[in-house]
Amino acid sequence: MSLSLFPAIRLLCRTVNARHFWPVVVLLLACFGAVLVVLAVTTRAQDDLQAAQETQALQNAVQSLKHNIRHDLQDYAKWDDAVRHISKNLDADWVDDNVVAYLGRQQGYEQILVLDARNRAIFEFARNPAEVSEAKIVSDPELLRSAKRVRNMPRTGSPIEAGFSRVNGKLINYAVAAVVPLTSKVTIPANLPSHILILADTVDNGKLAHLNENLRLSDLRLTLGHPNAALRSLALTDTDGSVLGWLQWTPRRPGTDLLRRVAPIIIGLAICSVLAALLILQNGLRAVEAVRQSELRARHHADHDALTGLPNRRALLSRISAQLALGDDPTLLFMDMDGFKDANDVYGHAAGDLLLKEAAARLLLCTQGAFVARAGGDEFAVLLSGDKSHEADTICERIIDAVRLPFSIGHYTVTLGISIGCARGEMLGAEGQDELIRRADVAMYCAKNDGKNCKRIYAPALDEGHLLRMKLESDLRAAIERDELYVHFQPIVSAAHNIMVGVEALVRWRHPEHGDVPPDVFIPIAELSGLINAVGKHVLRHACLSVRETALELAVNISPVQFWDRNLLDDVRDVLQETGFPPERLELEITESLLLRRPDKAAEVISGLRSLGIRIALDDFGTGYASIGYLQRLKLDRIKIDKAFVAPLGNEERACEMILSIVALANAFDAQVTAEGVETESQAQIAKVAGCSRMQGWYFGKPVAAGKLMTLLDPRLISNVA
């Protein structure tokens, strides 16, 4: 049992924390120790009681030895006939017939002696005659002292004495009596010393066995030398109290016997209790540990983002306030992924999740131990302590470079960017966490507004622009709800026939306070705030309704955010159905920038739109970074050369070559070309000669309301172009 017990205890000790293990073990051991002490005391008391009882019984037996020999001798010594046959003249035959016959032969006493007045043995009997000379009890001083004492006793009483003595190395039990008359019929002169009758018996182990019959003492024996201290002893003394020998025996120990029987049970119980207690403790601790772990998990969940494992906004806030409370001047980098919403829409949420996880991992790599949090959606934050604030610029650059690298999501490669707003916590005080986040947020919006994928540092001056943007955003929302946006149309002229063949729809917003807000200003706001889809749909529906009754072609701008919206196809189909506008007269203008990130997916969206029967034009060609490779993959119907390339026509020789090259490129892809921003006659001439099939610009007409369109078709203008 012990072999299997110790590994089990060791295992328990390992699993049960020492802090809890030892107190329980000590407590249990103390309890069982107390039980054992009580048992030991009880055992001892019971053993002592038994020993005392045995000693008392033996003492009584020893007394009865003396009593019996005295009793046996008494009647023979105080007897008229004894006086007559011993004290007057010794009649040895009478003694033999009357005394020895009974006491010696029948009772079995070993020696019977008669001493005369001068203590000479005048009669001797020995059951074993050889022992008589050896015994020499007649010269034993103890017996002679006894004889003297009994002679001095009054003869009318019972002059007799019994005791023990050691004679010649043997212990004897004896009785000494003066021979005196029982009645007054016989007298002994008072001055004549009495004769003495002696009865003696050897006390040895054989006799003790007989004595022990009733007592049943274990291993009772007589020891004349030094007693064995381990055994129980009773001293046998002479009449003076001198020790003659020891009666020794092994006392019975009922308490110890009982203890021996119950001890294994108690020890077993103790071990079982300790093990049970430890098991209960272990289970209890496991339960406590499980609760603690789940608490930790709950706390972790409350403070961490489940997807990326990064601390969440709540944790960010408490971290900022803790650092501000310490008087630290932390720097907060607040960032938003550029293009994430598009990617999420296009590739689905699972891909979006992978993008966020990968972005989080890159941020951690770039920030080397700084506090990185996911503030929500595609927003992240990096908090730098005051002593690391000087590294903010470097860290921003590292982050921008890291996020710019393509992300591999399954079969796709996605390119994203990140806009970072940077704010310092100087002078904000302990309660400034919200203000710090607000400032970093303002700076981040500024970065978005300034072209994205860059960083901006907060300065109070930014607040003004930010507030204006916020105000414009809410005003724009209200304007959409109140249907205050309207559309102007700019003519598009056929270079071959010199007539207006189409129009481009351009959205307009007249702000009640700020007047006309250019689309370059409010379209980015609409894109950032998620209002662009509503704006886009509004413009498309309006434009289709306005131009439906003419034979004109209609070009409508589609923002990149709109392009990547998964509802785009449905929205366009709905508007076409709703307005009854023929799809073959509709051309959607997209920009180069959206081709950069996901050319494959862009090709998919384009072919979806083309399947409705509408055409796709690439707007502002030359201002973005679209490569020939990208263009080749897309089925584009038209390329619109940006006004930046048209403006120098007629002034710069190379400008004409550029236009020729773009036209050649477009022709190679089976795409038509439109020259945008044509402001002069010569620009129109050159564009036409260069091969542009359509032209658009102030030279032909500025954007006007639908009702004014016809007035723009001035025949003079058109003939000039010809």
Q: Which does 518 bind (CB under 5 to 8 A by kind): ligand C2E, Mg ion, none?
A: ligand C2E
Q: How far is the CB of 629 from ligand C2E (least distance, A)?
A: 24
**Which 3 state secondary structure label does DSSP give 559?**
coil
74, 344, 557, 696: residue in contact with Mg ion (rule CB under 5 A): 557
Nearest to 415 by CA among 424, 407, 423: 407
26: number of Cβ within 10 Å: 11
The crossing angle, in degrees rounded to 10, of helices 599-610 and 568-579 is 20
Q: How far is the CB of 505 from ligand C2E (least distance, A)?
A: 6
Q: How far is the CB of 684 from ligand C2E (least distance, A)?
A: 10
469, 620, 687, 688: residue in contact with Mg ion (rule CB under 5 A): 620
Q: Which does 643 bind (CB under 5 to 8 A by kind): ligand C2E, Mg ion, none?
A: ligand C2E
Q: Cβ closer to Mg ion: 124 or 589?
A: 589
User: 3-state SS of the chain: helix, strand, coil percent to 5?
Assistant: 55, 20, 25
Q: How far is the CB of 681 from Mg ion (least distance, A)?
A: 21
How many C-alpha atoms does 551 have within 13 Å on its Cβ side?
A: 3
Stretch that binds Mg ion, among 483-491, 515-523, 540-548, 587-595 (CB under 5 A): 587-595
Q: Which does 697 bind (CB under 5 to 8 A by kind): Mg ion, ligand C2E, none?
A: ligand C2E
Q: Which does 181 bind (CB under 5 to 8 A by kind): ligand C2E, Mg ion, none?
A: none
Q: Cβ closer to Mg ion: 428 or 492?
A: 492
- The answer to whether the beta carbons of residues 556 and 505 sit under 8 Å apart is yes
- The answer to whether the beta carbons of residues 499 and 467 sit under 8 Å apart is no
**Contact between 587 and Mg ion (CB under 5 A)?**
no
Q: How far is the CB of 421 from ligand C2E (least distance, A)?
A: 25
- The answer to whether the beta carbons of residues 472 and 518 sit under 8 Å apart is no
Residues 665-684 that bind Mg ion (CB under 5 A): 676
What is the per-residue DSSP string for 482-551?
TT--EEEEEEEEETTTTEEEEEEEEEEEEETTTEEEPHHHHHHHHHHHT-HHHHHHHHHHHHHHHHTTSS
Nearest to 494 by CA among 693, 328, 349: 693
Task: Find the residue with minimal CB distance to ligand C2E.
Answer: 697
The number of residues making up the chain comes to 722
Q: How big is the CA angle at 120 (ends 116 and 122), to the nearest 5 degrees?
A: 70
Q: Cβ closer to ligand C2E: 202 or 557?
A: 557
Binding site for ligand C2E (CB under 6 A): 490, 505-507, 518-520, 523, 536, 539, 557-559, 589, 619-620, 643, 676-679, 697-698, 703
Q: Which does 539 bind (CB under 5 to 8 A by kind): ligand C2E, Mg ion, none?
A: ligand C2E
**Contact between 140 and Mg ion (CB under 5 A)?**
no
Structure tokens, 289 = 């540990």
**Contact between 201 and Mg ion (CB under 5 A)?**
no
Nearest to 721 by CA among 491, 499, 492: 499
Q: How far is the CB of 489 from ligand C2E (least distance, A)?
A: 10
Q: Cβ closer to ligand C2E: 145 or 452?
A: 452
- The answer to whether the beta carbons of residues 466 and 667 sit under 8 Å apart is no
Q: How far is the CB of 706 from ligand C2E (least distance, A)?
A: 14
Q: How far is the CB of 578 from ligand C2E (least distance, A)?
A: 18
Q: Which does 703 bind (CB under 5 to 8 A by kind): Mg ion, ligand C2E, none?
A: ligand C2E
> What are the φ/ψ torsions at residue 371 (nearest 5 degrees)?
-80, 115
Nearest to 277 by CA among 13, 7, 625: 13
Q: Which helix (H) or strand (E) holds 264?
A: helix 254-303
Q: Cβ closer to ligand C2E: 565 or 619?
A: 619
The crossing angle, in degrees rounded to 10, of helices 519-529 and 532-547 is 130
Q: Which does 484 bind (CB under 5 to 8 A by kind): Mg ion, ligand C2E, none?
A: none
**Contact between 589 and Mg ion (CB under 5 A)?**
yes
Distance CA(643)–CA(645), nearest Å, equals: 5
Q: Cβ closer to ligand C2E: 123 or 645?
A: 645
**Contact between 592 and Mg ion (CB under 5 A)?**
no
**Which 3 state secondary structure label does DSSP give 448?**
helix
**Contact between 619 and Mg ion (CB under 5 A)?**
yes
Nearest to 695 by CA among 704, 685, 709: 685
Q: How far is the CB of 563 from Mg ion (least distance, A)?
A: 13
Q: Which does 165 bind (CB under 5 to 8 A by kind): ligand C2E, Mg ion, none?
A: none
Residue with tokens 């540990």: 289
Stretch that binds Mg ion, among 147-155, 331-339, 363-371, 553-561 (CB under 5 A): 553-561
Q: Cβ closer to ligand C2E: 428 or 666?
A: 666
CA distances from 156 to 39, 54, 114, 184 (A): 59, 39, 20, 10
CA distances from 116 to 88, 123, 147 (A): 10, 9, 11
What is the contact surface with Mg ion in residues (CB under 5 A)? 557, 589, 619-620, 676
